[in-house]
Amino acid sequence: MASSLKYVRVPPNSASLAEARQRVFEFFKTACRSIPSIMEIYTLHDVVAPSQLRSTIASEIRKNAHVTNTKVIDMLLFKGTEELSNIVEHAKQRHHIIGQYVVGRQGLDVGTKDQGVSDFLKNFYKGNYF
């Protein structure tokens, strides 16, 4: 089945940053609206709450909040829509969803530990090669 998302449409070019921003919000709304069906498909009822998934989606979008090039935003939206449709049409499996979007997301937006530290230290904690 091609795409079960009801509202999805990704025309290639956003005319302006405002339009791209609009599209991002529409994508976010689409994703949040598909959360119940995702939880149904992958039986995540005991694992995670919908609000947690919403925060996860929001943080993933926020990771790219600094982008200003409309073409890049369009490309990122395309990738996001692709990922969302993969999840909704059950092309992924439960362990994918849990590993990629549920685990390790504690203290997602509230980075109190890491607020005052430099990029060097953040990268240092993650690994040796940066």
Partner 1 sequence: MGLGQLASRALLRSTRLAASKPHHLLLRRAVVSTPELHNSEAAAVEAQPEPDLPKRTPVAGARVHFPNPDDAIEVFVDGYPVKIPKGMTVLQACVIAGVDIPRFCYHDRLSIAGNCRMCLVEVEKSPKPVASCAMPALPGMKIKTDTPLAKKAREGVMEFLLMNHPLDCPICDQGGECDLQDQSMAFGSDRGRFTETKRSVVDKNLGPLVKTVMTRCIQCTRCVRFASEIAGVQDLGMLGRGSGEEIGTYVEKLMTSELSGNVIDICPVGALTSKPFAFKARNWELKGTESIDVTDAVGSNIRIDSRGPEVMRIVPRLNEDINEEWISDKTRFFYDGLKRQRLNDPMIRGADGRFKAVSWRDALAVVAEVIHQVRPQEIVGVAGKLSDAESMMALKDFLNKMGSNNIWCEGNGPSPNADLRSGYIMNTSISGLEKADVFLLVGTQPRVEAAMVNARIRKTVRATNAKVGYVGPSADFNYDHEHLGTGPETLTELAEGRHPFCSALSNAKNPAIIIGAGIFGRKDKDAIFSVVEAIAKNVNAVRPDWNGLNVLLLNAAQAAALDLGLVPESDKSIESAKFIYLMGADDENVDKLPDDAFVVYQGHHGDRGVYRANVILPASAFTEKEGTYANTEGCAQTTVPAVPTVGDARDDWKIIRALSEVAGVPLPYNTLSGIRSRIGIVAPNLLHVDEREPAAFSSAFLRPEVKDKPDKTPFERAVDNFYMTDSITRASKIMAQCSALLSKK
Using rule CB under 8 A, residue 113 touches partner 1: yes
Q: Alpha helices, DSSP H only, in 1-130?
A: 17-41, 50-63, 70-88, 94-97, 119-126
Using rule CB under 8 A, residue 103 touches partner 1: no
Using rule CB under 8 A, residue 104 touches partner 1: no
Stretch in the footprint of partner 1 (CB under 8 A) among 15-23, 58-66, 90-98, 117-125? 117-125
Q: Which is nearer to partner 1, 12 or 127 (CB)?
A: 127
Query: Please, what is the minimum distance in Å from the beta carbon of residue 119 to partner 1?
Result: 8
Using rule CB under 8 A, residue 128 touches partner 1: yes
Write the Ramachandran bin of 14: left for phi over 0, alpha for psi from -120 to 50, otherwise beta.
beta
Residue type (1 letter), 10: V
Instruction: Give how far Cα 111 sits from Cα of 60, 104, 105, 116, Å.
Output: 15, 13, 11, 10
Contact residues toward partner 1 (CB under 8 A) are: 113, 117-118, 120-121, 124-125, 128-129
